Amino acid sequence: MGFRASPNSKGAYATRTSSQWPYNLLKNLLLNLYEIAGNEWPMYAKRLTDITPFRVMELMERAKLLEADGKHVVHFEVGEPDFATAGPIVTAGERALAAGETKYTQALGIPQLRERIARFYADEVGVSVPAERIVVTSGASGGLLLLCGLMLDPGDELLMSDPGYPCNEVFVGLVNAIPRRVPVTAQSHYQIQLEDLVENWTARTRGVLLASPANPTGAVIGRDHLARLTAEAHGRGGFVLLDEIYQGLIYADSPEYRSGLEVDQDIFILNSFSKYFGMTGWRLGWLVVAESALSGITRLAQNLFISPSSIAQHAALAAFEPAAMEIHEARRQKFAARRNMLAQGMASLGFTVPHLPDGAFYLYVDISRTGMKAEEFCWRLIDEYQVAVTPGSDFGTFNADQFVRFAYTTADEDIHLGVERLGKALADWGIGCG
């Protein structure tokens, strides 16, 4: 608390010479009384106390400082492709700008893009989805907010995995609903099991949020498993939200299925142009929703966002064309090779990767053999060896001190260098290589 009395201390009172000064004097007097009574001003929403900052942001800040000091930092912390957006998409974006496509669009997205996404499902995935059910959003983040607004009332519960994508519970909290985290382990393939769903489902549960491949584990949900979970949730009158934002980044040559829509057309799908399509900064994603949701989601989208970015939507039309798809596909293969390279490097250092990721670009590594907690491990690694990784505590609480996430969104040479530095760290710390 600061006392607002001196004309020099606080900004408002300093305007003594303006005609406003009597009001400012009164305001400051009242605020002082308010603060003396033990209140904070301005008052911010209590929900902020539940929103924890990403530890990785502080580590990234440290990385920047080290780099400014001329140090070469190996980045395993960044959850976005290191590749630039594919050329054909950039060209389409430039054309859209030049053509003046800079206005609001329809709230659910331009019809051409909704139809193009529907065609992607028909051609690439082999499922028929009418374009009307596709909602273009401001990234998957915008989609998540729309889904929470659509599905959850205050006090409702949504089941989600721990570890999982950390922002999910913030979106749920924003609509005053309750995220219920369900611990998952490598033994359960880092996915919620049927018995977990049954055990954690309460009278307040409205549905379950799944992700395949998942962040931070890269774990995919098997087709039958998804079918069973979905049948159980639907049978209880609940819904299933499936985050498929890493859909294109699956490493099996013949995946069991390409989209949850193949398993059940009533699953609500969340997807994005950020990862496989390499468009993180364009802020564009999409949902596939039930026809019955369209009226509600249109009202929400109109009010919350007016429309997704017009330029990004026009650019994204090119994302599905063969020239761009070839580039995305080559990058997927590159990520697969990097996954193997990093996993081998970790194994050579004696680390356990309890579950080799089926997709996405993350390795969730058990560091318990170092005897350090994940955050200490991450700080020592960046400070002493300039290798940046994300502690498990950014993804939940379950076994979080025991795990760190390595993102292989970094060049091959840096992956080798990172493993080499980690080996040196272990030797210097007297831990040895397993």
Ligand X SMILES: Cc1ncc(COP(=O)(O)O)c(C=O)c1O
**321-360 residues near ligand X, rule: CB under 6 A:** none
Residue 395 per-residue DSSP state: S
Separation CA 180–CA 200 (nearest Å):
8
The smaller minimum CB distance to ligand X, of residues 280 and 402, is found at: 280
Select the residue interacting with ligand X from 24, 105, 230, 274 (CB under 6 A).
274
Separation CA 318–CA 316 (nearest Å):
5
Answer for the pair 167, 190: CB distance below 8 angstroms, yes or no. Answer: no
The smaller minimum CB distance to ligand X, of residues 219 and 378, is found at: 219
Q: Does 139 bind ligand X (CB under 6 A)?
A: yes
Q: Does 192 bind ligand X (CB under 6 A)?
A: no
Minimum CB separation of residue 299 from ligand X in Å reads 22
Stretch that binds ligand X, among 133-141, 146-154, 218-226, 329-337 (CB under 6 A): 133-141
Stretch that binds ligand X, among 22-30, 90-98, 134-142, 230-238 (CB under 6 A): 134-142
Separation CA 291–CA 329 (nearest Å):
32
The smaller minimum CB distance to ligand X, of residues 15 and 397, is found at: 397
Minimum CB separation of residue 406 from ligand X in Å reads 15
315-340 b/e (C-beta count within 10 Å ≥ 16 → b): bbbbbbeeebbebbeebbebbbebbe
Select the residue interacting with ligand X from 141, 212, 230, 410 (CB under 6 A).
141
From first CA to last CA, the distance across the chain in angstroms is 53
The smaller minimum CB distance to ligand X, of residues 24 and 272, is found at: 272
Half-sphere exposure of 157 (CA within 13 A, CB side): 13
Q: Does 280 bind ligand X (CB under 6 A)?
A: yes
The smaller minimum CB distance to ligand X, of residues 139 and 345, is found at: 139
DSSP string of 73-125, one letter each residue: -EE----S-SSPPPHHHHHHHHHHHHTT--S---TT--HHHHHHHHHHIIIII
Cβ neighbours of residue 329 closer than 8 Å, sequence gap 6 or more: none
Stretch that binds ligand X, among 128-136, 138-146, 307-315, 405-413 (CB under 6 A): 138-146
The smaller minimum CB distance to ligand X, of residues 150 and 419, is found at: 150
**209-238 residues near ligand X, rule: CB under 6 A:** 211, 215
**148-167 residues near ligand X, rule: CB under 6 A:** 165
Stretch that binds ligand X, among 67-75, 135-143, 154-162, 260-268 (CB under 6 A): 135-143
The smaller minimum CB distance to ligand X, of residues 32 and 280, is found at: 280
Extended strands (E) in 244-333: 268-272, 285-288
Separation CA 63–CA 71 (nearest Å):
9
Minimum CB separation of residue 168 from ligand X in Å reads 7
Instruction: Provide the β-strand partners of residue 387.
Output: 74
Select the residue interacting with ligand X from 109, 163, 248, 285 (CB under 6 A).
285
Q: Does 243 bind ligand X (CB under 6 A)?
A: yes
Measured at the alpha carbon of residue 167, what is the angle toward residues 197 and 276, in degrees to the nearest 5?
95
Q: Does 319 bind ligand X (CB under 6 A)?
A: no
Q: Does 386 bind ligand X (CB under 6 A)?
A: no
Select the residue interacting with ligand X from 134, 242, 245, 404 (CB under 6 A).
245
For 227, other C-beta atoms within 10 Å of its C-beta total: 16
Per rule CB under 6 A, count of chain residues that contact ligand X? 13
Backbone torsions φ then ψ of 57, nearest 5 degrees? -65, -40
Task: Name the residue with the smallest CB distance to ligand X.
Answer: 139
Instruction: Provide the β-strand partners of residue 239.
Output: 207
Q: Does 392 bind ligand X (CB under 6 A)?
A: no
Helix axes 139-151, 294-305, angle to 10 degrees: 130
Q: Which residues bind ligand X (CB under 6 A)?
A: 79, 139-141, 165, 211, 215, 243, 245, 272, 274, 280, 285
